[in-house]
Structure 1
Amino acid sequence: MSLTSNKFRLSVLDQTPISKGSDALAALQQSIQLARLTDRLGYTRYWLSEHHNTTTLAGPAPEILIARLAAETRQMRIGSGGIMLPNHSTLKVAENFRLLEALYPGRIDLGLGRAPGGDRLTAQLLNPGNTFDPQEYIKQLRDLESFLTDTPGPGNFEGKIRAIPHIDTRPELWMLTSSGESAFLAAHFGMALCYAQFINPIGGPEAIRAYRSRFKPSATLEQPVTAVGIFAFCSDDPRKVHETQALIDYRLLGFEKGQYDEIPTVAAALAYEYTPAEWQRVLHNRRRTAVGTPEQLRDRFAGLAADFDVDEFIISTFTEDPTDRLRSYELFAQLFELTPREIPNFKHEADPAPAYPDDSTNSLRAATS
């Protein structure tokens, strides 16, 4: 299978990373720039993650960022990747996303997960009623379905409680999973499924096959829809490929060691001496990533597409230099032969224009102006 012989969709997962020496304000402005760029380049959707109690990421509230980025874009779908449902009131999630759908009809995705997006103590403060019981999560999914379809059920007291505003369209529902269990839930509730290869590189194709075989049509989805999320970076400079792979290796291992507040640098990553056991973890974690030149990534993604039997990839990218992240998304658009969109120029005077270091990114400069 080749990327040129099949039409693939490409999407963004933005975890709002904060670069070393920068801050959250700059990270959020970079998200705005990336959303504008990928809208023009022809990406399908742009998702925001939910994380808490960390100084390395700037996005604890996807629903707020969705409202801003949907206003900054014109055609790309904007959504959550995801809302960690146990952290929240089900009714409030339904109302938030109905309001977003009312503001941007046909452009809102509601991706759902059950991980805490941080530590359990923080999750308990976010929702003191959170029991961390899987059955409670299933109840929340059932109640959310009732609220979004205006169907009487126990969770809305048989229709007495309604999620407003009342509108004719619905956000597109996605289940995010890094295990087979949530794939079964997505099939049961008739939701689209995104497998998080960037979290767990084991069992993804099997989870997607199980989802398809058990899928039940719902009021919002008639046929199974799938995607795969992966950490990825593309550069035509082999040196940057090497440095960014080292940075991602170091960052993922740091997460596994509980170093959530460290913002890694290329220098620190290249200088670090791995123990044999740590290096085995690095090799395992590289299955969560796709890093290389366009030529290298052509084969990598063709293999992933064949293994997973999907036609959409959702890419999350960490780089030391934010301009390298922008350039990577442009190269991916070229690799996947996305169709650029003609979108009228618009900008806010308060938003700084991105600064590019050389003339090799003139096309990016034009796209984000």
Structure 2
Amino acid sequence: MNRIPLSVLDLAPVKHGSSASAAFAESVALARHVEALGYRRHWFAEHHAMPNIGSAAPAVLIARVAAATSTLRVGSGGVMLPNHAPLTIAEQFGTLEAMFPGRIDLGIGRAPGTDPLTASALGRDDPTTGDGLPAMLDELYGFFRGDFGADHAYHGLRAVPALGNEPPIWLLGSSNYGAKVAGRRGLPFAFAHLFSQANTLPALKLYRELFQPSAALSQPYAMIAATVIVADTDAEARRLALPTALAFLRVRHGKREAYPTIEEAEAHPWTEEERAAAEKWFAQNVVGDPASVRKQLDELLEATRADELMVLCAVPDAEARQRSYTLLRELHG
């Protein structure tokens, strides 16, 4: 297995019968655990109005986890910029960078991270498009750097404490759109392979072809985010992953519920159609014992030539989640 850096994507999963408070405590414990194992980053993804995901406010969780660790880079994977005023994000992440210098990452995406009604409540004019992202990105940079032109409406506006506290900015994507923006602007690119497998290779190819060196990067840097669940046996890995497959199916059918427990997933009255969909989910993600996962990841990393692997392991059992990240680190070498 290619010894590229390993990182963590965290949704702060809120399982059935538990609470957001417990989910956040589990995230802190996980961050300390993976830091000791040598993982590079721990990112939180912005989602809204989803009872099974606690990461609606990445900046708040980043502050908590950064305060509980010392070497781990902590960031957003990502903040959905069209949901917010760029000044707000600049202030939040400028504050984080000032508090934890050199340890904060600002991953930017364009999807709403929720349903159209919630997106509207967040203030998005049109939650179906992301065409305003480049202009919002320029505005965000302007607040961090104080370089609005003399004819700009915000010329002379001082964003405190954003000015002078700019963290590394990443572009996130699940299609060619993000790949184009990241490549042309010379930014690191994180691709959501975990739910857009068919688009992974075309997007990474486009990103590398369009890449223009910048002050941030002299050459392309591509990270892929994948669901990886490792256990001591294939059977146990599938058992741990079953709630994730069920949660995925529920979201697909518009059902918003707390994250199912392992027992709940096993007791679910699976229809033939649901079982087929679950098997397809298993085939598209990396689930198994260490030997199987090594083989699957070898193939994935060889195909993508990724510079870094970010792993989502949203199993509902916190101890099993930590064990999965431990086994992955061990097989990684």
TM tier relative to shorter chain:
over 0.9
Which one-letter code corresponds to 1:257 in the other structure?
H
SS of residue matched to 1:202: helix
1:123 to 115, 119, 125: 119
Q: Is the contact between residue 12 and residue 314 of structure 1 (CA under 8 Å) also seen in structure 2?
A: yes
1:140 to 105, 112, 136: 136
User: Are residue 301 (structure 1) and residue 297 (structure 2) matched?
Assistant: yes
Displacement, 1:334? Answer: 1.0
Q: Is the contact between residue 77 and residue 108 of structure 1 (CA under 8 Å) also seen in structure 2?
A: yes
In 2, Cα distance between equivalents of 1:232 and 1:327: 12
In 1, Cα distance between equivalents of 2:329 and 2:68: 20
After superposing the two structures, state which structure 1 stretch, 285-294 or 38-47, moved more. Answer: 285-294
Q: Return structure 1 stretches of 4+ with deviation > 6 angstroms.
A: none
Q: Is the contact between residue 221 and residue 307 of structure 2 (CA under 8 Å) also seen in structure 1?
A: no
User: Are residue 38 (structure 1) and residue 34 (structure 2) matched?
Assistant: yes
> Where does 1:244-263 land on structure 2 (aligned, <5 Å)?
244-263=240-259
Displacement, 1:237? Answer: 3.6
User: Are residue 18 (structure 1) and residue 14 (structure 2) matched?
Assistant: yes
Displacement, 1:322? Answer: 1.2
Which one-letter code corresponds to 1:8 in the other structure?
I
After superposing the two structures, state which structure 1 stretch, 250-259 or 132-141, moved more. Answer: 132-141
User: Are residue 107 (structure 1) and residue 103 (structure 2) matched?
Assistant: yes
Q: Is the contact between residue 234 and residue 288 of structure 2 (CA under 8 Å) also seen in structure 1?
A: yes
Q: Is the contact between residue 144 and residue 164 of structure 2 (CA under 8 Å) also seen in structure 1?
A: no
Q: Is the contact between residue 230 and residue 288 of structure 1 (CA under 8 Å) also seen in structure 2?
A: no
For structure 2, the residue ranges without an aligned partner over 5 or more in a row are none
After superposing the two structures, state which structure 1 stretch, 236-245 or 78-87, moved more. Answer: 236-245
SS of residue matched to 1:161: coil
Displacement, 1:275? Answer: 4.7
In 2, Cα distance between equivalents of 1:155 and 1:210: 34
Q: Is the contact between residue 146 and residue 155 of structure 1 (CA under 8 Å) also seen in structure 2?
A: no
In 1, Cα distance between equivalents of 2:315 and 2:205: 33
SS of residue matched to 2:166: coil
In 1, Cα distance between equivalents of 2:244 and 2:210: 35
Query: In structure 2, do the counterparts of structure 1 residues 318 and 134 end up closer, same or farther at CA, with 3 Å as the change threshold?
Result: closer
Q: Is the contact between residue 143 and residue 156 of structure 1 (CA under 8 Å) also seen in structure 2?
A: no
1:60 corresponds in structure 2 to 56
In 1, Cα distance between equivalents of 2:331 and 2:163: 39
2:68 corresponds in structure 1 to 72
Q: Is the contact between residue 191 and residue 221 of structure 1 (CA under 8 Å) also seen in structure 2?
A: yes
1:212 to 204, 208, 227: 208
Task: State the Cα deviation string for residues 12-64 of structure 1 (Å, max 9, x = none).
Answer: 00100012221111100001101111111100100011111122122211011
Query: In structure 2, do the counterparts of structure 1 residues 135 and 203 end up closer, same or farther at CA, with 3 Å as the change threshold?
Result: closer
Query: In structure 2, do the counterparts of structure 1 residues 49 and 166 end up closer, same or farther at CA, with 3 Å as the change threshold?
Result: closer
1:82 corresponds in structure 2 to 78
SS of residue matched to 1:7: coil
Displacement, 1:233? Answer: 0.9
Task: State the Cα deviation string for residues 118-144 of structure 1 (Å, max 9, x = none).
Answer: 112111111255565432222112222
Q: Is the contact between residue 85 and residue 140 of structure 1 (CA under 8 Å) also seen in structure 2?
A: yes
TM-score by length of 1: 0.84
Q: Is the contact between residue 90 and residue 162 of structure 2 (CA under 8 Å) also seen in structure 1?
A: no
Matched residues, number: 333
Which one-letter code corresponds to 2:262 in the other structure?
V
Task: State the Cα deviation string for residues 281-337 of structure 1 (Å, max 9, x = none).
Answer: 334433542111111111011011011011311111122321100111111111112
Which one-letter code corresponds to 1:136 in the other structure?
G
1:360 corresponds in structure 2 to none
Query: In structure 2, do the counterparts of structure 1 residues 253 and 153 end up closer, same or farther at CA, with 3 Å as the change threshold?
Result: farther
1:329 to 311, 325, 331: 325
1:29 corresponds in structure 2 to 25
In 1, Cα distance between equivalents of 2:152 and 2:312: 36
SS of residue matched to 2:7: strand
Q: Is the contact between residue 183 and residue 210 of structure 1 (CA under 8 Å) also seen in structure 2?
A: yes
In 2, Cα distance between equivalents of 1:313 and 1:223: 18
Query: In structure 2, do the counterparts of structure 1 residues 128 and 249 end up closer, same or farther at CA, with 3 Å as the change threshold?
Result: closer
Q: Is the contact between residue 78 and residue 109 of structure 2 (CA under 8 Å) also seen in structure 1?
A: yes
Q: Is the contact between residue 86 and residue 130 of structure 1 (CA under 8 Å) also seen in structure 2?
A: no
After superposing the two structures, state which structure 1 stretch, 15-24 or 269-278, moved more. Answer: 269-278
2:3 corresponds in structure 1 to 7
